[in-house]
């Protein structure tokens, strides 16, 4: 059984988006293995707030690791075998491709004190370049933990707005990128 935080007055109730609390050392080991680095304090604080069910606004520069916040949510859900998809609306295909390559098709082994877990965090990008019907089947069956999609994919006539799929969304992230050059 996955190590959970013990019941205590100073420990929050189970995270609504995950169904339980996972000890920080487990998340630390998983993050180090998957991302090959460890989080900054602000990333962990933002993750905890999201996992606890709060809305979060994370503002950080390019390359500062905002993606780790929702990545941690997908990792934690996979560790406890809880369903749900983190949906990331992204304006940048490069970010979508980079994140999908980080996760998709890779299995990670996480060693706990008494057991070893093998987890897989499946990710897919759906945009005008990728409209593969198999991706939609995987989404509807709950196999995808991270979905990256362009804003156009959420127009009213798309499958991504179906009530069947909407019930599987654990968190919705809008990854905004704007750049202005003052002359």
CA 163 to chain CA centroid, Å, is 20
75 closest CA partner among 146, 142, 25: 146
Q: Is 39 exposed, middle or buried (0-12, 13-18, 19+ CB in 10 A)?
A: buried
Neighbours of 136 (CB within 10 A): 18
**Tell me: the pLDDT tens digits for 69-97?**
888 888 888 887 777 888 888 888 888 88
**Tell me: the pLDDT tens digits for 116-166?**
888 888 899 988 888 788 888 888 888 888 999 888 877 765 666 666 566
pTM as predicted: 0.78
The architecture CATH gives domain 24-175: 3-Layer(aba) Sandwich (3.40)
Domain ranges of the chain: 24-175
């Amino acid at each position: 059984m996955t190590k959970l935080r013990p019941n205590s007055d100073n420990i929050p109730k189970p995270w609504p988006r995950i169904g339980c609390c996972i000890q920080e050392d487990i998340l630390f080991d998983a993050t180090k293995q998957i991302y090959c680095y460890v989080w900054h304090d602000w990333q962990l604080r933002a993750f905890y707030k999201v996992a606890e069910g709060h809305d979060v606004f994370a503002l950080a520069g390019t390359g500062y690791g905002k993606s780790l916040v929702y990545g941690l949510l997908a990792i934690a859900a996979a560790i406890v075998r809880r369903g749900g998809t983190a949906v990331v609306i992204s304006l940048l295909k490069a970010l979508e491709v980079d994140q999908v390559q980080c996760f998709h098709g890779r299995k990670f082994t996480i060693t706990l004190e008494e057991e070893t877990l093998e987890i897989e965090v499946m990710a897919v990008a759906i945009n005008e370049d990728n409209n593969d019907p198999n991706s939609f089947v995987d989404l509807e069956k709950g196999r995808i933990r991270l979905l990256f999609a362009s804003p156009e994919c959420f127009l009213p006539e798309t499958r991504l707005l179906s009530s069947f799929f909407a019930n599987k969304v654990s968190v919705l992230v809008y990854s905004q990128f704007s750049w202005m050059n003052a002359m």
